[in-house]
Amino acid sequence: MDRPLPPALSPIAQQLSESSIRTIANFGMTQADVIPLWFGESDIPTPDFIRQAAAHGLEQGDTRYTPNNGIPALRTALAEYQNRLYDQQFDQHNIVVTVSGTNAVMLAAQTCISAGDKVVVITPVFPTLFAVPQLLGAKVEQLQLSQNGHRFELDLDALFHAAKDAKAIVINSPNNPTGWCATKEQIEAICEFARRENVWVISDEVYARHTYEGDSAPSFCTFMRESDPIIVCNSFSKAWCMTGWRLGWLTLPRAITPTITKLIEFNVSCAPGFVQAGGLAAITQGERFIEQTRERFLTARDMVAQALSDIPGVTLYDMPATFYAFVKIDGLAANSQAYILRMIEEAKVGVAPGEAFGLGGSEHLRICYGCDLAVLATALERIRDFLLTHRPE
């Protein structure tokens, strides 16, 4: 006879919402001939020079424990990479290697957030960024980006008012799902606020290289000082198409590196050596690859704009960065899953529900346009026809 589960499960874990993106994907993957635009990854394979570097590591037997905070060669390369982009003077002691960008966010949060703390999260945003503070017992307050025509904007006065008594601000720029980017002036102002009010900033910048103006989006790395309460989270997943490798990093003041290193020991121990070998190749040899993928995504972005910008009752927001289109559908229910499931069944294309991304996401759909251009053309034709013929009930 099956016994019931013990009663002492964590109430925080039990109350955590299931990802509606995964719900959509799980259904879509059971259907034939569906074009999947729900997950946040491109269909470009990890480039060969990265795979070969990791394979060489395996051949050399690089399968043992590594330093908790990453191999020195990769940490040094990451510091030099960011120094070039942001005119900084980081060294390896400002860098900690993590097992994915998600792990980077968790480690940053565990470093500065305690149960009962107030944390302000700028939304819409990938759900991990408000779920992680919730798992730690924090009181999460979502601050919604404002909408101005076809643009998303951040109201700094509203942010500073909300964060006056907060322990931390969580920001994702360039932003998933909206493509919004904070300006250099806004980032500098947030840095000054953090110093003045002694508020932590956790900045998720995994899409920093997927901007269509300049080599990198404006970054907190540019303005960071050694005494600042700022931690920048990053990942190899997006810029180098390494989603399955689970490799990321943190940029942070040297003084807190020992604390995060201890947390890594008790979370994941270390990132695999052969995976870090692939990351080292990405950082030192990957600029041309980033340029090529950005060119393809720019073409894809233009295709999205041409296909979806003139549909009555549909608002397509500006796309200055990332590889996402965020689309508002007038009259779409707060829970858009039924509408998307119908799209999957009838139009044979699937997207992500906007409500998965917190406040400001309802009545929206997120479309990942990181796929092959011919496939994208077919998907956009199907989405356009569906939106024109299936108004929300």
Measure the CA dihedral 25/28/30/36, to 10°: -90
Contact 135, 110 (CB under 8 A): no
pLDDT, position 25: 95
> What pLDDT is recorded for position 144?
97
The pLDDT assigned to 24 comes to 95
Residue the block writes with tokens 């109201």: 155
Domains annotated for the chain, with CATH where assigned, are 11-46+288-387 (3.90.1150.10), 64-285 (3.40.640.10)
CA distance 200 to 181: 20
Task: Output the pLDDT for position 9.
Answer: 80
How many angstroms separate the first and last alpha carbons of the chain? 46
Strand, coil or helix: 231: strand
> Within the chain, what is the greatest distance between any pair of CA atoms?
65
In this predicted structure, what is the pLDDT of residue 19?
84
Burial 5-38 (b: 16+ CB within 10 A, else e): eeeeeeeeeeeeeebbbebbbebbeeeeebbbbb
**Do 38 and 21 touch, CB atoms closer than 8 A?**
yes
Q: Angle at which helices 287-308 and 373-389 pack, to 10 degrees?
A: 30
- Global pTM value: 0.95
Q: Work out whether the CA dihedral 281, 283, 286, 288 comes out positive or negative.
A: negative
Tokens, residue 203: 């900045």
- Per-residue CA distances from 182 to 198, 226, 304, 385 (Å): 21, 22, 23, 34
Predicted pLDDT at 6: 65
**Hey, CA dihedral for 210, 212, 213, 214, is it positive or negative?**
positive
Query: Average pLDDT per run of 10 along the chain, which is 393 residues long?
Result: 68 83 94 96 97 98 98 98 98 98 98 98 97 97 95 98 97 98 98 98 98 96 97 98 98 97 97 98 98 97 97 96 97 94 98 96 97 98 97 83
> Which candidate, 173, 183, 212, 364, places its Cα nearest to that of 302?
212
Task: Give the per-residue pLDDT at 240.
Answer: 98
Q: Which pLDDT score is estimated for 13?
A: 84
- Distance of alpha carbon 93 from alpha carbon 115, whole angstroms: 28
Asked if 363 contacts 328 with a C-beta cutoff of 8 angstroms, the reply is yes
Q: Given this model, what pLDDT does residue 170 score? A: 98
- Helix, coil or strand: residue 69: coil
Sheet strands (E) in the chain: 35-36, 95-98, 118-123, 139-144, 146-148, 151-153, 168-172, 200-204, 230-235, 248-251, 314-316, 324-329, 349-350, 352-353, 364-368
Using the structure block, give the residue that is written with the tokens 């270390």: 270
